[in-house]
Amino acid sequence: MSNYKNFLANFDKSAKLAGRDTEEIELIAVSKKKPAQDIQNVINEGHTSFGENQIQEIEEKWPKLKNLHPDIKLHFIGGIQSRKVESIHKNCEVIHSIDRMKIVKLFAALERSEGLKRKYFIQINTGNEPQKSGVLFNEAEQFIIDCLSNYKLEIIGLMCLPPIDEDPKIHFQKLRDLGKKFYLNSLSMGMSADYQVALECGSTHIRIGTQIFGERN
């Protein structure tokens, strides 16, 4: 059995244990640092939702893959640099990591000029970690209000990466409760090591790399 099929079986069990249905959860196969052939193998198994965190990799691998498979949905899950916004907007259907008003304004301007709508998550730094991307938790409510009130972006939810040395459940619950306040029902949380906990906390988008593609070099 392939890694992908093996993961699907575990995913199904985890969802049932959490009282969830896999149909309501989007499984994002995180293909960063993996060659196009490895990705093609997963596409051949029927998967259509993928995640990357480097725009250079996306530009190298994905135009050809998406040309061959037009139903692919590509999620950008990395930190966003201003000069990369245009390419991210062009290449990715869903963007998980907006965290600065400058970036919000750049995407809003691109949507107006290009007439191309994307879906967005706001990344929240639930642990207020200085080295990590994301809106600081104590500034998150005002940031969300500003985004929803002043820009016509389709913001569907919130995303987080819990601190590696803390119980992820605390952070997933914080994100869920914050989302509820603003009727943001999509939650991008949970990776290979902690997705079961994320499912219990209401995650709608899980980002799985190593359990599908194996270890990265």
- Alpha-carbon distance of 22 to 2, in angstroms, equals 19
Residue 1, pLDDT above cutoff 90: no
Instruction: Provide mean pLDDT across the span 176-180.
Output: 98
**Residues found in the chain:** 217
Q: Please, are residues 172 and 203 in contact by the beta-carbon 8 Å criterion?
A: yes
Instruction: Provide mean pLDDT across the span 36-45.
Output: 96
Q: What is the mean pLDDT of the chain?
A: 96
Q: Please, are residues 15 and 199 in contact by the beta-carbon 8 Å criterion?
A: yes
The pLDDT tens digits for 66-106 are: 999 999 999 999 999 999 999 999 999 999 999 999 999 99
Domain boundaries, the chain: 3-213
Say what the pLDDT of residue 216 is: 75
The pLDDT tens digits for 41-65 are: 999 999 999 999 999 999 999 999 9
The pLDDT tens digits for 5-16 are: 999 999 999 999
Which of 3.20.20.10, 3.90.800.10, 3.40.50.920, 2.130.10.10 would CATH assign to domain 3-213? 3.20.20.10
